[in-house]
Amino acid sequence: MNTARQADADLTRPALSEWWTQHRGQSPVVATAIHNGHTMRDAVKRLCRLGEDERLREEDPFTEVIIRDVPNRIVVHRSRFEVDINRPRDGAIYLRPEQAWGLDVWTEALPGEITEASLAIHDEYYAMLKSYLSGIERCHKRFVLLDVHSYNHRRGGPKAERTSAAEAPDVNIGTISMDRTKWAPVVDRFVEAVQSFDFPGGRLDVRENIAFQGRGYQTRFIHEHFPDTGCAIAVEFKKIFMEEWTGEPCLEALGALRRLIASTLPVLANALESER
């Protein structure tokens, strides 16, 4: 696989042994890149039918780079094909093709010890997340979490027509799992900040609940456990920052998205403060 993930030291993957890494700073804003990971345990990889490129295409490479300037951030390093942190525990392992974009993931039925070890990562992640966010809550009373993902828009092949712009905004904001009225001042100011950002080639098309609705497990978990204090916004970037069929990044676009997220930090902090 010939990507800048290999060629550029700034984009290299962490050690195989790491489940995730977390950073903590003085801010009420948190960002996560829970589908950034590509690594799998050897025991899992031996049973995986998919090639490296097939897995990478459905993962969210380089989302860690986009959130790198957020003081509070969590990056998951295990592939979603080992365990999908953004699905409920009983669906976090893709056992059937319909759970994985029609892909037949495994060469044989997974042994119980394999699935239990993978699900332990899911359990530990959410135990960690609840504790981590409780700390942010203690310090700041309320917080915003940007749940950053990316999505494909040329599923028919490397030369296929792109998904129509009407169905695939550059940035899809998912808000279905939140009390949208309660958090409107925060979400609306975030959307305005993203729309007004001077992106190379022109302003970004930013819309809400078009390609995705923010139904992932992580945002639902946050709104269930922090109903009055936590605003979790699912942010899906169309893969305009990379070639989705080869994994090659566009460094200019990737750097711009990193600056974009950094530029929203004071906007979000001020929005939280003004609503107290």
Q: Give the single-character DSSP code of 75.
A: E
Give the pLDDT confidence score for residue 8 in this predicted structure: 47
For 84-116, the pLDDT digits (tens) are 999 999 999 999 999 999 999 999 999 999 999
Measured CA to CA, the distance from residue 122 to residue 67 in angstroms comes to 22
> Interior CA angle at 109 toward 98 and 100, to 5°?
20
- Checking if the pLDDT of 5 tops 80, the result is no
Measured CA to CA, the distance from residue 17 to residue 8 in angstroms comes to 21
| 175, two tokens | 């808000």
Measured CA to CA, the distance from residue 16 to residue 42 in angstroms comes to 10
Structurally, the chain folds into a number of domains equal to: 1
* Domain extent for 228: 4-274
Confidence bin at 125 (pLDDT 50/70/90): very high
Q: What is the pTM of this model?
A: 0.93
For 192-202, the pLDDT digits (tens) are 999 999 999 99
DSSP characters for 235-261?
Answer: EEEESTTB-TTT--B-HHHHHHHHHHH
For 150-167, the pLDDT digits (tens) are 999 988 888 888 888 888
Dihedral through CA 169, CA 58, CA 14, CA 129, nearest 10?
70
CATH of the domain at 8: 3.40.630.40
Give the pLDDT confidence score for residue 215 in this predicted structure: 87
For 55-87, the pLDDT digits (tens) are 999 999 999 999 999 999 999 999 999 999 999
